[in-house]
């Protein structure tokens, strides 16, 4: 129990190489997409309810509703969890030649990170790369917002200047995003099937070195008096505009 509780912190997740999924929808995604399951953990009620859907060969632990409340950050948890492996080391960017990629530069809010992974999946992106300074994507709040999309697309981490240089070396355009109307209106861009889109920190935007390294910087034209967009909304608008628009 203590061990599972530790998975609520990044330190605990890195020590065990695993993270916790909270609720049947996420557990089911892990099962269906062959996530590497260490343990299934549930109240007797939840384990009975899903008895026929649980995979064989994975240790099952029954917990009380009180312990379920301790494991969850929700006020009323469903009472079913899975402990799954963190992904292994990711591909090096120089081996990537296709697909649309989202680069996250210093995104701080776990809900925003999770929502962006979910949206990247829905937009048909190949993967999401977490730069140094972005929040850990395996917290309960982030994985809840992901809705299982981490099992559908590739999640990687690394230095975004290195990733940007490698993509450009491979002939793949890397688009930064800024609030600056001196940048290019993203609704006028028709990218190739392979490209990367960078979203920057909620308050500060992209780090200047990354902005300078981008093939081109784009902006979303704002019409009203709002000064900016929520970063997850901006990412959604940009990802769909660049792939469907």
Q: Which residues bind its own copies (CB under 8 A)?
A: 115, 118-125, 145, 147, 149, 152-153, 187, 220-230, 232-237, 240-241, 243-245
User: Taking a C-beta distance cutoff of 8 angstroms, is the pair 101, 127 a contact?
Assistant: yes
- Toward its own copies, which CB reaches closer, 80 or 232? 232
d(CA 1, CA 172): 46
User: Taking a C-beta distance cutoff of 8 angstroms, is the pair 230, 119 a contact?
Assistant: no
Q: In the bound complex, what is the minimum distance in angstroms from residue 138's beta carbon to its own copies?
A: 18
How many Å separate Cα 25 from the centre of its chain? 17
For the chain, the farthest-separated pair of C-alpha atoms sits apart, in whole angstroms, at: 59
Q: In the bound complex, what is the minimum distance in angstroms from residue 243's beta carbon to its own copies?
A: 7
| Nearest by Cα to 155 from 2, 9, 19 | 19
d(CA 75, CA 85): 26
Q: How far apart are the first and last CA of the chain?
A: 48
- Toward its own copies, which CB reaches closer, 58 or 122? 122
- Toward its own copies, which CB reaches closer, 4 or 195? 195
For residue 201, give the DSSP letter. B
User: Taking a C-beta distance cutoff of 8 angstroms, is the pair 142, 135 a contact?
Assistant: yes
Q: In the bound complex, what is the minimum distance in angstroms from residue 217's beta carbon to its own copies?
A: 18
- Toward its own copies, which CB reaches closer, 159 or 185? 185
- Toward its own copies, which CB reaches closer, 21 or 123? 123
Q: In the bound complex, what is the minimum distance in angstroms from residue 236's beta carbon to its own copies?
A: 4
- Toward its own copies, which CB reaches closer, 30 or 210? 30
User: Taking a C-beta distance cutoff of 8 angstroms, is the pair 185, 206 a contact?
Assistant: no
- Toward its own copies, which CB reaches closer, 20 or 241? 241
User: Taking a C-beta distance cutoff of 8 angstroms, is the pair 144, 114 a contact?
Assistant: yes
Q: In the bound complex, what is the minimum distance in angstroms from residue 81's beta carbon to its own copies?
A: 21
Q: In the bound complex, what is the minimum distance in angstroms from residue 238's beta carbon to its own copies?
A: 9
For residue 19, give the DSSP letter. E
Q: In the bound complex, what is the minimum distance in angstroms from residue 245's beta carbon to its own copies?
A: 5
Q: Hey, what are 24's tokens?
A: 């049947």
d(CA 234, CA 107): 13
């Amino acid at each position: 129990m203590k061990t599972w509780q530790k998975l609520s912190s990044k330190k605990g997740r890195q020590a065990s190489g695993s993270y916790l999924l909270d609720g049947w929808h996420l557990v089911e995604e892990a099962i269906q997409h062959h996530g590497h399951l260490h343990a299934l953990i549930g109240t007797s009620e939840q384990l009975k309810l899903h008895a026929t859907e649980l995979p064989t060969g994975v240790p099952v632990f029954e917990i009380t509703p009180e312990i379920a409340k301790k494991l969850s950050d929700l006020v009323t948890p469903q009472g079913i969890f899975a402990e799954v492996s963190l992904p292994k080391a990711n591909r090096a960017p120089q081996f990537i030649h296709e697909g649309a990629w989202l680069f996250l530069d210093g995104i701080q809010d776990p809900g925003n990170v999770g929502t962006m992974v979910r949206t990247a999946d829905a937009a048909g992106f190949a993967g999401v790369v977490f730069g140094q300074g972005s929040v850990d994507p395996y917290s309960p709040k982030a994985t809840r917002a992901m809705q299982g999309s981490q099992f559908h697309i590739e999640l990687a981490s690394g230095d975004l200047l290195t990733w940007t240089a490698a993509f450009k070396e491979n002939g793949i355009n890397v688009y930064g995003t800024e609030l600056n109307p001196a940048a290019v209106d993203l609704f006028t861009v028709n990218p190739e099937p392979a490209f990367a889109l960078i979203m920057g920190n909620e308050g500060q935007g992209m780090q200047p070195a990354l902005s300078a390294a981008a093939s081109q910087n784009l902006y979303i034209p704002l019409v009203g008096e709002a000064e900016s967009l929520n970063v997850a909304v901006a990412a959604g608008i940009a990802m769909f505009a660049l792939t469907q628009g």
